Structure formats: structure tokens, C-alpha cells
Amino acid sequence: MLLPTKYIPESQTLLALGGIVLSCIKRPCTLTTLWEQTRKIPQVGTFERLVLTLDMLYILGAIDISKGLIKKVK
């Protein structure tokens, strides 16, 4: 699910989804706001996938969460 395999296409991986989610974060926003922005994107699919993607981005140091706001790390 994190990386593409024989059965999971690249567009369905968390790494690809991470790029999509990062492009949606223009300024600091709440999880609810980010969900509203991304819920109609077919690759996101479910709230669970969004949260898994945010977890991965946080671990990689691509985003930071402070005072309930999600923001990109420059």
C-alpha cells in the first residue's frame, strides 16, 4: 500500500497520494478542512486513507501539526 507492487498501481499508493495531499495544503488548515478539500479526489477514497497519508507525511517530515493546524514544512 505504501509502494507500488504487481497488484497495487502507483496511483493507489500512499506515496502518490502524499503528493496529491501536499498539493492541496496551500496554507495551514485543520484536518476537517483538508478532508473537505480532498474527499472528492478518487485516489483519496476514504478518510482512513487520508489519515494514513498524513501519518506518512508527518513521519517523513513533509508536514507539521501545530495547534490543530496542518502545514507544509519548507
Q: For position 1, what pLDDT does the model report?
A: 65
pTM (2 d.p.): 0.88
* Mean pLDDT (the chain, rounded): 91
Q: What is the mean pLDDT of residues 59-65?
A: 96
Domain regions of the chain by residue span: 10-72
Burial of 52 (0-12, 13-18, 19+ CB in 10 A): middle
In tens, the pLDDT along 30-53 reads 999 999 999 999 989 899 999 999
Candidate CATH numbers 1.10.287, 1.10.150, 2.60.120, 1.10.10; the one for domain 10-72: 1.10.10
